[in-house]
Chains A and B, each alone.
Chain A
């Protein structure tokens, strides 16, 4: 929506003509820095530390632990057969929490592999359990906080661009944020969504968690691009590459990005992290990656690194880690109990919410089906006993 610099499209001016030689633009000429504040050994430059108060520093820790405990508990109940499937976020806590900590209630958030941001925005663990149980009340609850989870990889980027477009029309003091993974950057929808944001100057923030794998496909085989961050440049969008195991660096990067986005410039952030657990509980990562690789990343545990920082700052003594974990476990127990209390819903739910008004053919299908269920109650038994995948 920016005014054109000139209405005349002239052929390229003479000047920087390469001296008559063919010259390539090459990624090897790019220097892509990775923002880091706390080094893997826990050292840091005091001057680079973001301006947060003690309570905020401690909140970052609590949320990261929440993320880890939540993943652990969800994997456990899945193994007990109490969930369909689950995608653990272990290893990505700094990436997830550092970014979401910058968002405000009026911002919109569309995530892939990031569940705790929903809690940070006001949804409950119960809502997330419902989501993973395939109960629509989950997404309904997230929607109340301007948030959604995208399942079809990359498909949400055009939506986020559209939401940002709405904010732009409203002149809203808010940003539309898409969390995506490395895998999503290979999709056409991601390209078009990011390009639209760049071309119209929309308040969209793209936060890419490069956790190194699209299920089994390592990043280096997904693209010829050395980094994901550099891809943004082709859209005229500035990018930041950040150490996704360093919660303060992620916070700092995304905070800076968010500010810039509110000024009408979309920003792309690549957070370099690692998925320590399987893609989902249905996945066996030992088929495609080595134990050594996982151990290497386990040695770069984001929570451990932040703990070093808190110790250096003298804040660690403020935290009773075991009590924090106990509290989160109790919250999860309560959420699980509440989720288990959910009453069985009427089959009509499947039909009711598709349109504002139920069209005649759907009403007819619903009536036929309700009639069938009444005539053949063995349907319920069959569904209950059918072997589940």
Chain B
């Protein structure tokens, strides 16, 4: 079937709730209203008010409650309405969800998913635009997944729901409805921890994920560059091998991401390339990223996250020497 990213989220939830009674969906405005982006539309009608639940405006209780429910044996899929509202619940991810298994030597675990739309560019108010995947990927024990296509969204969300450990599932809301493609009907799983090569090329490796994929591909097309474009998909665990093998081939690399540069995911990618492929590099690795500022309010947000001309500029810099 043809579907957008947000429809693929909905399809994955329907499919997995139908397959496994332990899957429970909750969050703010997810049941009766079907979610502010309609990601949970029709779930209440199909699965009833015990398994699809509107919660109070309580991020700490949503994430902590999901962890407790998961410890007890359910498979909660909790929604945080916008990633900018996750920080109050950061404590529950750091203090509880990510370390239940570790703390009890596997006696208990927290198989849960926290879904949330992230990223700038939808002309919303403050706190509706963050891309802090780097901060979340810094938490040991928490997996962080960011899809960029409808088919991957369904496959990765399915994998996240079935995963025995917690997953933070960051949905690229800027492209929620802008891409429509064929999405497999029924069960569809894409493994967590594997990057996808979106385009093969010889001259430079470009790594991006989530809502940075369309502008990255556009920059490559626009510039007529023979670039290998990697969609990381999984921030944690990261598929280092795919990136390193590509860089060994091309000798040049650009990382494009929306979040702040300092200690961003790009920093880690550069470090891993240094560890494993430094002698293959023909030029410094370029990072095209958001700035170390808050995401500006909507009047200026377009200057914050990388657009194709900026990404192309980075690619050309990597190709220059």
Q: Do A and B come from one complex?
A: yes
Q: Could you tell me which A residues sit within 8 Å of B by CB distance?
A: 1, 108, 136-137, 139-140, 142-144, 148, 152, 155-167, 169, 176, 188-189, 192-193, 195-196, 199-200, 353-356, 359-362
In-complex Cβ contact of B237 among A139, A169, A361 (8 A): A361
Q: Which of A160, A199, A356, A360 contacts B68 (CB 8 A)?
A: A160
Q: Are B61 and A158 in contact (CB under 8 A)?
A: yes
Q: How far is the CA of A382 from the CA of B92 in the complex (A)?
A: 35
Name which residue of chain B comes closest to A359, CB basis: B237
Say yes or no: B105 contacts A166, CB within 8 Å. no
| Chain A positions within 8 Å of B50 at CB level | 1, 169
Q: Min CB distance, B57 to chain A, in Å?
A: 10
Is A361 within 8 A of B53, CB to CB? no
Inter-chain CA distance A14–B55, complex, in Å, is: 31
In angstroms, Cα B69 to Cα A356, docked, is 18
Residues of A near B303 (CB, < 8 A) are none
CB contact under 8 A between A354 and B68, given known A144-B107, A195-B61, A361-B237: no
Question: Which residues on the B side are within 8 Å of A108 (C-beta)?
Answer: 72
- Per-position contact with A for B177-195: 1 when CB-CB < 8 Å, else 0? 0000000000000000100
**Residue contact B104 to A140, C-beta cutoff 8 Å:** yes
How distant is A204 from chain B, measured CB to nearest CB, in Å? 10
Q: How far is the CB of A250 from chain B (nearest CB, A)?
A: 25
Output the least CB separation between A180 and chain B (Å). 14
The chain B residues found within 8 Å of chain A, CB to CB, are 24, 49-51, 53, 55-56, 58-61, 63-74, 76, 88, 91-92, 95-96, 99, 101-109, 140-141, 143, 163-165, 193, 237-238, 240-241
Query: 16 extra interchain contacts, Cβ-Cβ under 8 A, other than A161-B61, A167-B72, A355-B165?
Result: A1-B53, A136-B103, A139-B105, A163-B72, A165-B68, A188-B88, A189-B64, A189-B91, A193-B64, A193-B65, A195-B58, A196-B56, A200-B53, A356-B109, A360-B237, A361-B237
**Contact of B105 (CB < 8 Å), options: A140, A161, A169, A361:** A140
Q: Work out how many contacts link A and B, with CB atoms closer than 8 A.
A: 144
The reply to whether B69 and A353 form a contact with Cβ atoms under 8 Å apart is no
A158–B59 Cα distance when bound, in Å, is: 10
Q: A196 is contacted by which of B58, B74, B107 (Cβ under 8 Å)?
A: B58
A103 to chain B, nearest CB (A): 16
B103 contact set on A, CB distance < 8 A:
136, 139, 148
Q: What are 30 residue pairs bridging A and B, where the CB atoms are less than 8 Å apart in the complex? A: A1-B53, A136-B102, A136-B103, A139-B103, A139-B105, A140-B106, A140-B107, A142-B104, A143-B108, A148-B108, A152-B91, A158-B68, A159-B64, A159-B67, A159-B71, A165-B68, A165-B72, A166-B74, A169-B24, A169-B74, A189-B60, A192-B61, A192-B64, A196-B65, A353-B104, A353-B105, A354-B141, A356-B101, A356-B164, A356-B165
> CB distance B49 to A158 under 8 Å?
no
Known: A140-B105, A188-B60. A165 touches B95 (CB 8 A): no
Q: Which of B61, B72, B141 contacts A355 (CB 8 A)?
A: B141
Closest to B99 in A: A354
CB-CB < 8 A to A361: which residues of B? 237-238, 240
Q: Which residues on the B side are within 8 Å of A192 (C-beta)?
A: 58-61, 64
Closest CB of chain B to A3's CB: distance in Å? 9
Distance between B99 CB and nearest chain A CB, rounded to angstroms = 8
**In the bound complex, do residue A158 and residue B72 qualify as a contact, i.e. CB atoms below 8 Å apart?**
no
Is the CB–CB distance between B56 and A195 below 8 Å?
A: yes
CB-CB < 8 A to B163: which residues of A?
356
Known: A1-B49, A1-B53, A200-B53. A158 touches B108 (CB 8 A): no
Which residues of the partner chain B approach A160 to less than 8 Å between Cβ atoms?
68
Whether the Cβ atoms of B64 and A162 lie closer than 8 Å is yes
Chain A residues closer than 8 Å to B238, beta-carbon distance: 361
CA distance in complex: A29, B181 (Å): 64
Cα A359 to Cα B142 in complex, Å, equals 12
Question: CB-CB < 8 A to B95: which residues of A?
Answer: 152, 155
